Structure 1
Amino acid sequence: MPQPRAVVVGAGVGGLTAAVALWRRRWRVTVLERARVLEPVGAGIAVAPNAQRALDVLGLGDAVRARAAFSGSGGLRTPRGRWISRTTGEAAAARFGGPVVLTRRAELVDLLLGALPEGTVRTGTTVTHVEPGAAGGAPARVTSERGTVEAELVVAADGVHSPTRAALFPDHPGPDYAGLTAWRFVADAPATGYEPHETWGRGTLWGTTPLAGSRVYCYATAVVPPGGRAPDDELAELRRRFGDWHAPVPQLLDAVAADAVLRDDVHDMPTPLPAFHRGRVALLGDAAHPMTPNLGQGGCQAVEDAVVLAHLATAEGELAAYTERRLPRTTLVARRSRRVAALTAWRSRPAVAARALMFAATGLLGPAAALRALDGIADWRPPGAYQRTG
């Protein structure tokens, strides 16, 4: 029988994972990416144990684990440097079966690209129209400047502002500004002399995590109106907001070039979609369930989506089981992440002081207490039927 054909729209982490997973299950796969060059959006990415186990299905989990750079302790701090609560890599490993691995997004993209046959990804290709087709009936059709192709499956991994989602669900309100803007960068700096931390201020947050190869991933958020840009540059904006915070924040700001700082408004989708599919089109990752970054699960859930979709998708276009498996779980993760984002947005001094006391009390219960937000998330495992391929 001829191989079924899949077209993936978007070459981010989720789209590429779906391409690898489908190709290894004997689909003919083409990835269409509008960018002319694959330059990964974002500086770093957290790959939690749940996503590592999903990548194990593809034989790629160990390659990600090899990028782990830190296994000691870390925690939550105040802008003056006082520790509010602590946890350890060992506590995470004991609770979830492994630590969270922080790596450069570009390295994860390269790993996924290396698992695909040459020519699978077509850059500089903008999809202008998707006809969903029908399960058990007409194939889907994807139109771009290269022409129109038919496929038994289309995977829409085209991001937070997914044109495919908007076309398939025109009455859905779509994503909203989550009230936060995020900055991210990777600095070439020795990852020594400090412990990984998040520091919460008044409507502001800073995070510092070492990466392999003497690099450090830094991220920050602030409660600001959407669509803003610094009058000079975003590095200067970070210095204005965080330059007087505890070490090593000022030193890391001195270790990065202005053009290496990324700024993006954060969006999520308080109203979940009614389904993650229509006809022969499946939505994946941010196209299906954009979420705030506060649990580090956006990319992880996209990786889960991809492995589950490849396992459940059929050449006849049956995708209801994919929606059934993924919509409830991602809705839970997005809501939990939104609640953490709301905590970081507190700005009044009494509220911030009460928040610090709450976390300090939690810290007294031991390192595992700080990990409870990821219970039921980071401990996810692919069902036994999802056999490792490769």
Structure 2
Amino acid sequence: MGRKKEIIVSLPDQAWTDHVREGLLAWYDQNKRELPWRKNKDPYRIWVSEIMLQQTRVDTVIPFFERFMDKFPDLVALANADEEEVLKAWEGLGYYSRVRNLHSAVKEVVATYEGKVPSTPDAVTQLKGVGDYTAGAILSIAFDQPTPAVDGNVMRVFSRWFALWDDIAKLSTRRKMEVLGAHLVPASRAGDFNQAVMELGALVCTPVNPKCISCPVQATCAAFDQGVQAELPQKKKAKPPRPVHVSIAWIRRGEQILLQRRSSEGLLAGMWGLPTMENVQDEVVPGDSITPLFTELGLFVEWGEVLGEYEHIFSHRRWHIRLVEGLIRDEKKDLPGEWRWINENERTQLAFPNVYRKAFSLAEKRRKGLSGIQGRLL
């Protein structure tokens, strides 16, 4: 996976290694879940599944994966698709940079590798969005190469097997785990072994209350032997998301809704959403803080009421959101490219991050039974 600083790790002996391989693979053959990406060893399907599974639960991914495969059954179909179409197929999974990187990478595979996913570590890790873990998963599962694939489940299992107290949030710990994984993965059934470790972490060696009595390799687990399995792995607590007060505007012109495309960098990069202003202070009059944004665009808004307030948590930010209604009273110039009006029936054609889907839902709930300024605005 490229040149790395040499990590010195005390490796288990061959008898221990053989016992773990045999016991774990036998358990996997009997207990593995039937997952749609395990139906064959198509590297494209495996690649897509691994990208989807990043920071997302298996049960959540399954229906998204099946729909995505129906729409883009092979790598060329995905490479030839329009970005908006790809984003729409991903809608609801979040972390949209994942699918943008995937889309870019499959285009590179078509252009450089004749549409076939490369099978060498150097080539795979050069693909956009493919890190060491994803590369290891593709190489071992699709091509049965003895390459480690170390994700969060694997790090938890290894921490307990070897009673390692290293902080798994540190890169040095991950590198140590990769050395262990490279030693443990067998020359044959490499993909099955890597998946077996992940499966053990998902079903048995769980974060809380591990089911040690059901573990096929309990006898070789140092943490169980020492009675410290509940204390491992060690991980430094991440900083809580930073609170940010945000105004989101639900602006209408007849049956049309005003959209804003976010910056190409940063949070929700390049995604369509509703007009948004971050770091908003308490407003005496709803809409005051976001008014200058529309004035610059030559739009004059009559503000209504606050439709509701809600929270949305990103990895590093917690948005405290106020959704404010507005009606366009006058327009002085054409909108720039990052702004657009859409009709109600066009909304389903675009992909929106969950934070804006919540806003749409909230606004729709307020549309019924309103009168006066509220009724006109909504």
TM superposition score normalised by structure 1? 0.23
State the structure with bigger RCO (CA 8 A, min sep 6), 1 or 2: 1
TM superposition score normalised by structure 2? 0.24
Structure number having the greater helix percentage: 2
Structure number having the greater strand percentage: 1
Which one has the largest radius of gyration? Answer: 2
